[in-house]
Structure 1
């Protein structure tokens, strides 16, 4: 159930600029590794989702585009949440969570896609 929902959100993230694709695809892969190895293999072999999973499993890295879109999505969603939450202490907790999450995310290594590397040489 969680894997399917995560994959659906990851798929929507391809078309919606605010919704990040990578975290949802990675979560779906983690869920399917245990529940459906056959579906996980399909996901890893997929032309769009496969490279995301491969980059993460092999290098624990994301592309610059993923990092930029993810950071923008985090700031936008947390800003909206901070704006609508009525209690000041909740706003402070959200700011702290944003800082911690963004600090971790920004420190992720960047890997360039193979196609981009070949074009640059």
Structure 2
């Protein structure tokens, strides 16, 4: 029963993380980390799949190992975040809503600034590459 619940929550978190790739105000990394943690407890197969997934796996592995986020990802995230926030502020009818929109923008900016930047070529090889070398 617990494993099923972990797998359901992991799948929902994974879906929200994927949505967050396309919607700047929805965080991607926390949902992917939650999905990874849930799959680790609910399904070893799903956890391995997520970590070895072609697009999301390297980001998760680098983040979980404290290696950081690529500079390009930081710049893209901040550009999309502040573009969407600026547009939202432009259309927000109430001044207090505009000010309120600054809170997540500043918080995410500070978070990304404090996160280590992954050096080019510093990406961890996937497990298939490691097996080939052995």
Which 5+ residue runs of structure 1 have no aligned equivalent? Answer: 117-121
Q: Which residue is 2:100 aligned to? A: 93
Q: Which residue is 1:39 aligned to? A: 46
Q: Which residue is 2:90 aligned to? A: 83
Query: What secondary structure does 1:59 align onto?
Result: coil
Please give the TM-score of this superposition, normalised by the length of structure 2. Answer: 0.64
Which 5+ residue runs of structure 2 have no aligned equivalent? Answer: 1-7, 124-134
Please give the TM-score of this superposition, normalised by the length of structure 1. Answer: 0.69
In the TM superposition, residue 68 of structure 1 has moved relative to its aligned partner by: 0.8
1:107 aligns with 2:114: yes
Computed over aligned residues only, the root mean square deviation of the Cα atoms, in angstroms, reads 3.1
Q: Which residue is 2:68 aligned to? A: 61
In 2: Cα distance, 1:68 partner to 1:37 partner? 33
Contact 1:20 1:73 in 2 (8 A): no
Q: How many residues are aligned here?
A: 114
Change (3 A) 1:9 1:112: farther
